[in-house]
Every structure is written in structure tokens, then in C-alpha cells.
């Protein structure tokens, strides 16, 4: 069935350029299936251009702030517009690394030891936090994606530099025990895990450059690992997705320590859809081509339209919403 679909891209976060590429790929895929697609580059925190487009459903290809943090989702629900991806509550929980940790712990999802630190804490308190975790530590801004603002601290001097960098994105940061080992990512489609991808960056870790710029980064689809380990990685990834209350899709990042213990790092509720993105690669390995993947996500968005969505909005768009 031909549908009128708005694809949201761009946005106002540090991940704007990646989002534009994701959105363009989604637009091309949906147009190839004959849909009436309206690309919308959001440059401010408003959905007025979306309302004006009067779509039947919205495909969210926004990354970072006002994309993955639940704000645009809440506005779309208020306007009675169905959309792809997680609802506002799950989006907020996944975007906030401290909130995610709390949900993981509550639902017995293994995650690295951590401490929350603030820009106003004394150095003595920060030293105590580092001592509790043990060097090296990974320092992360609380609400950023694509590894923006992330660093690894091997010394106290590194901690000072890392926190200064992370605090440039907000007054809170997460310090997490550095896990030495292999890194994997597991996509979730609907309520099923996709084939596993192993990440082998040439950078010190899988940072922004390794993800989007470094051609030397290796992505091993369905790596040669024991069946029981594959099942374990998929099970804990699905558990993390469910712990946050995610829907439709997510991509879960997992570290496997050298002793064989897996740890969930985070859940991405709107993974990338660029030519280098991992989620579409995993879907292809499961036999799901990119256009079909995008269309099935659109159908999920329509299927799970909020109860408050007017019937006419789902069927014919929502002019004047």
C-alpha cells in the first residue's frame, strides 16, 4: 500500500551530519517501494514542518538530542502522529546513561561497574570514584551518542582531561570500568535479535572516527564464535532492549571481557542507517533488505500508534494536527 511518510533527519545534535545521511538513505529506500516520502530536515525543536506535511506515519532518523531523547516522540504523540521506534519513556531511559544503568541493574542485565560524577564535585570525591572502579576508566558524557565526548583514562592526568572534555557536553559524566576484550553489537528487530556483528577498530576504541570515518575499521558479520556464546550475547541484548521498554528496533553494544564475561554498554534506540551503519548490515544478514527493513518499521509504527491517535490521522494524514 502506498503511504505518505515523513522522514525526520538532521536535527540539532552533534550527530546531525550522520542523521542527514541516515535520513537520505531511508528516503531513497522508501521511494524505491513507491511511497510518497517527505524528507524533513529539522533545524529546531519543533515539529511544525511535520504537521504541515500531513503524513500517515513518521520515520524518525534523528540521532542524539531531540531525536533519541524522547522529546520529538512526545511531540508526535501529542499531535496524533504515529512514528517508528521507541516511545518517549524508553527513549529517555536509553539516552541517559545513568538511567540505563539503573534499568540494567534492576533487570539483571550485566553492565560494567560505574560511578556518576558531576562538574561540581571535589577532586577528592572524583579520586574516590576512580579508586572504587580502578584504572583505566572510560569517561562518557551522560547524554551523547556516537561515542561523542568519550575517552579512556589510564592515569589521573587522563581523568582530568577526560572529565574536562565530557563536561563540555553537560554537568554530569559517567565513569565506567574499562573492559578489555572483544566488542560486539546486536540489533533487535521487533522483538527478535539479529545476527551479531563484531567490531574491530584500529582506533584505541570504537569512537566516532572508527564508526564513520576510518576505512580500516573491520565489521565482522556473524563472527566465528561458539553457538552458546552467540546465544548468550543475543539473549542479554534482548534483555537490555526489554529492560528499557524499547520497541520496533534498537542496537545493543556489548563487550566480552577476556575472561568470557559479557557486559552491555548501552542501547541505541535509533541506530544509524548510513552506508557504514551496523544495523542494516545485520538485517541484511538475516535476509532483510534495506527497503523492506524501512517499510516494515513503518508498518510497526502504524500498528503501534498511540491509542490517542485519531483514526483519521492514521488513515489519511493529520492536516491541522
Domains identified in the chain and CATH numbers = 4-85+289-316 (3.40.50.20), 93-110+180-269 (3.30.470.20), 114-177 (3.30.1490.20)
- Per the annotation, the verdict on 272 as an active-site residue is yes
- Give the pLDDT of residue 276: 79
235 annotated active-site:
no
The predicted-structure confidence for 222-231, as pLDDT tens digits, reads as follows 999 999 999 9
Share of the chain above pLDDT 90, in %: 83
Q: Is pLDDT of 294 > 80?
A: yes
| Catalytic site includes residue 268 | yes
Candidate list 13, 14, 15, 281, residue with the active-site label: 15
Average pLDDT, the chain: 91
The pLDDT tens digits for 88-132 are 999 999 999 999 999 999 999 999 999 999 999 999 999 999 999
- The single residue of 251, 277, 301, 317 carrying the catalytic annotation is 251
Catalytic residue (choose from 69, 176, 253, 295)? 253
Shortest CA distance to 1 belongs to which of 245, 316, 285?
316
83 annotated active-site: no
- Mode of pairing for the β-strands spanning 192-200 and 218-221: antiparallel
Task: Kindly tell me if the per-residue pLDDT of 315 is higher than 50.
Answer: no
DSSP designation for 63: -
Residue of 83, 208, 212, 279 with catalytic role: 212
**Residue 207 is a catalytic residue:** no
Active site includes 251?
yes
Is there a catalytic annotation at residue 266? yes
| Residue 91 to residues 55, 56, 248, Cα–Cα distance (Å) | 22, 22, 12
Which residue out of 91, 207, 268, 277 is catalytically annotated? 268
31 annotated active-site: no
pLDDT value, residue 16: 93
| Angle, alpha carbons 228-233-238 (nearest 5°) | 125
Choice among 146, 207, 237, 250 that is catalytic? 146
Average pLDDT, integer, range 286-315: 81
Amino acid at each position: 500500500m502506498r503511504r505518505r511518510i515523513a522522514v525526520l533527519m538532521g536535527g540539532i545534535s552533534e550527530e546531525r551530519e550522520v542523521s542527514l545521511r541516515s535520513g537520505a538513505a531511508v528516503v531513497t529506500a522508501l521511494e524505491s517501494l513507491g511511497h510518497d516520502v517527505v524528507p524533513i530536515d529539522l533545524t529546531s525543536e519543533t515539529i511544525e514542518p511535520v504537521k504541515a506535511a500531513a503524513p500517515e506515519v513518521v520515520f524518525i532518523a534523528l540521532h542524539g538530542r531531540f531525536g533519541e531523547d524522547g522529546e520529538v516522540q512526545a511531540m508526535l504523540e501529542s499531535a496524533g502522529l504515529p512514528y517508528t521506534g521507541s516511545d518517549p519513556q524508553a527513549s529517555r531511559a536509553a539516552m541517559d546513561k545513568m538511567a540505563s544503568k539503573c534499568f540494567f541493574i534492576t533487570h539483571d542485565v550485566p553492565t560494567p561497574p560505574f560511578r556518576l560524577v558531576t562538574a561540581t564535585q571535589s577532586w577528592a570525591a572524583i579520586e574516590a570514584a576512580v579508586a572504587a572502579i580502578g584504572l583505566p576508566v572510560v569517561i562518557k558524557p551522560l547524554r551523547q551518542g556516537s561515542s561523542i565526548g568519550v575517552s579512556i583514562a589510564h592515569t589521573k592526568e587522563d581523568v582530568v582531561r577526560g572529565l574536562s572534555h565530557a563536561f563540555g557536553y553537560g554537568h554530569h559524566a559517567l565513569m565506567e570500568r574499562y573492559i578489555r576484550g572483544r566488542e560486539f553489537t546486536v540489533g533487535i528487530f521487533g522483538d527478535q535479535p539479529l545476527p551479531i556483528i563484531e567490531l574491530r577498530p584500529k582506533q584505541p576504541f570504537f569512537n566516532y572516527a572508527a564508526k564513520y570515518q576510518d576505512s580500516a575499521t573491520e565489521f565482522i558479520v556473524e563472527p566465528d564464535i561458539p553457538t552458546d556464546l552467540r546465544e548468550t550475547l543475543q539473549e542479554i541484548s534482548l534483555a537490555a532492549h526489554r529492560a528499557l521498554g524499547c520497541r520496533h528496533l534498537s542496537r545493543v553494544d556489548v563487550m566480552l571481557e577476556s575472561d568470557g564475561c559479557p557486559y552491555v554498554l548501552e542501547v541505541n534506540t535509533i541506530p544509524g542507517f548510513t552506508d557504514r551503519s551496523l544495523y542494516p548490515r545485520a538485517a541484511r544478514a538475516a535476509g532483510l533488505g534495506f527497503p523492506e527493513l524501512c517499510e516494515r518499521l513503518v508498518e510497526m509504527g502504524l500498528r503501534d500508534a498511540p491509542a490517542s491517535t485519531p483514526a483519521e490521522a492514521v488513515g489519511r494524514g493529520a492536516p491541522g494536527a
